Structure formats: structure tokens, C-alpha cells
Amino acid sequence: MCALSSRITGAARLATILAVDKDSFQLQLLTFLLQQDGHRVHATLEPEMALEILQSKLIDLVLLETALPRQDGLRICQQIRQLNPYTPLMIVSERNEEDHIVRGLLAADDYVVKPFSPRQFLARVQALLRRASLARTGGWPDENLSIGEISLNLQQMHALVNGQRVPLTPRELSLLHALMGNANRVLSRDQLMRMAWGDNFMGTAKAVDVYVLRLRKKICPHLHGGFYVQALRGFGYKFELPRPQAAPAV
């Protein structure tokens, strides 16, 4: 396993990861894989304990099973977001229904279905950690972008919309950066996935729709006009300023 991990991640940055799962065996498996990959792990069976850990320790990534007994796992995601809006969150769940996965992607940055390939799982962990690290250190190209009512601050991981600060997750941030960096250009979902999340992103084109919806929910309440990201049915998206409405004829 050590040799396998080193091939996957190379000189990956050591991270502190919080893992939450209802099953002690699954929790031991996650802990083993992450520790063999060189990370520190805080593991717990209790979501309440996870929230306490988040308030007392610096956590780089949260892994959460949302199929929890007597609790709404997606509600736990919301509580984690409220405590640490910038910490990447990955759902690692036994639930594989499309509706739950879509709802999970709206609440988290990634969704992995059990059972999973250890190599793919660790690669996705590293992809989330890289994006978060780039955003924190200002390693993105074109650190700030501003179009119309929206200003994007990559280093501080937020958008300013008419002066209102809108926190964004690493994946939301990279998608909005790709759209704004190609304003007035029509981009397919596949193009957006590659530009925003790299060639190693293991999701489907539907993930772009999910994250555009997330951006719409966060940004639209602060806009005076319509949403800047326009959908082109059957193809993709374009970032453009809404056209001003013509004055009614007198």
C-alpha cells in the first residue's frame, strides 16, 4: 500500500483530514488509506464529535458518510459549511441513488460512492487538497477578475457581488474563474470540466450543471439583473452580462 500511495500522490502536501462514518470498519479503512498516503487523520463515528473537532482543530478536508442512523447527513453537511465555509468537503457514502448524489454535490465538493477504488479515492482527495491550497496561497493565474456586478478574489476564496461577500468552495471558485476568464465565449460542459477541475476530474458532465446551480443560488440574491451564466441547451454555458431591458413604449 505504501508503494501504491507514493505512485498516486508523489510529493503531496501533508494534510489533516477529518473522517466521519457510521461504520467502524469503514472508518478504519479510510484512516488506513489516508495515513498510508501520509496524512494526519481524526476519525469519529459521531457527527456531533466531528463538529467539536472542527471548532477546535485546523482541518484541511472533511470526509463524511451521509447515510447516518437517525440523522440527516446532508443537514450535517450544512452545519459543517456554516462552521468552516472554506474547508473542502467530500461525501463518501454507500448511497448511490442519482437524486441523493445530486443533492450531495449541492452540499459538498465531491461525492464518492462505496465501494470505491483506493487509487481513485486518493486521487480525488489530492485533487480537492490541491485546489484548496491554490486558492489559499494565491497560486491561481489572474488572481482577481471583475465583470459587471461580480468581482472574484481567488486568494481569499470569495466573490464580491455588489459589495456583498459571497463565500465559495474551491470547486465553485474554480468553475466561476473558468467562466469569467472566458466571458462571452460559449463553453461545452467538457471544456468547463477540464478548465475548472483538470483532466483528472472523475465526475460526469452533469456535475457542471450542479455547480452552476450552486453558484446561481449563492450569487443571484445579490444581483440587480439576471444571472450572468447563461445555459445553452444541449451544449454548455456562457458568462455574459444580462442585456438591459428596453424601456416600455409610451
Would 2-135 and 144-239 be classified into the same CATH topology?
A: no
For residue 189, give Cα distances in angstroms to 15, 23, 168, 208, 237: 31, 36, 20, 6, 7
Q: Which residues of the chain are modeled with pLDDT < 50?
A: 1-12, 138, 140, 142, 245-250
- The CATH fold assigned to 144-239 is Arc Repressor Mutant, subunit A (1.10.10)
**In this predicted structure, what is the pLDDT of residue 43?**
94
The pLDDT tens digits for 83-94 are 777 788 999 999
**In this predicted structure, what is the pLDDT of residue 7?**
34
**In this predicted structure, what is the pLDDT of residue 135?**
56
The pLDDT tens digits for 192-247 are 888 888 766 666 778 888 899 989 999 999 988 778 888 888 788 988 876 654 44
**In this predicted structure, what is the pLDDT of residue 163?**
83
Contact indicator for 107, 78 with CB cutoff of 8 Å: yes
The CATH architecture that domain 2-135 belongs to is: 3-Layer(aba) Sandwich (3.40)
**In this predicted structure, what is the pLDDT of residue 1?**
36
**In this predicted structure, what is the pLDDT of residue 86?**
72
What is the rounded CA–CA span in Å between residue 101 and residue 73?
12
**In this predicted structure, what is the pLDDT of residue 244?**
53
**In this predicted structure, what is the pLDDT of residue 243?**
60
Domain boundaries, given as residue ranges, for the chain: 2-135, 144-239
**In this predicted structure, what is the pLDDT of residue 136?**
55
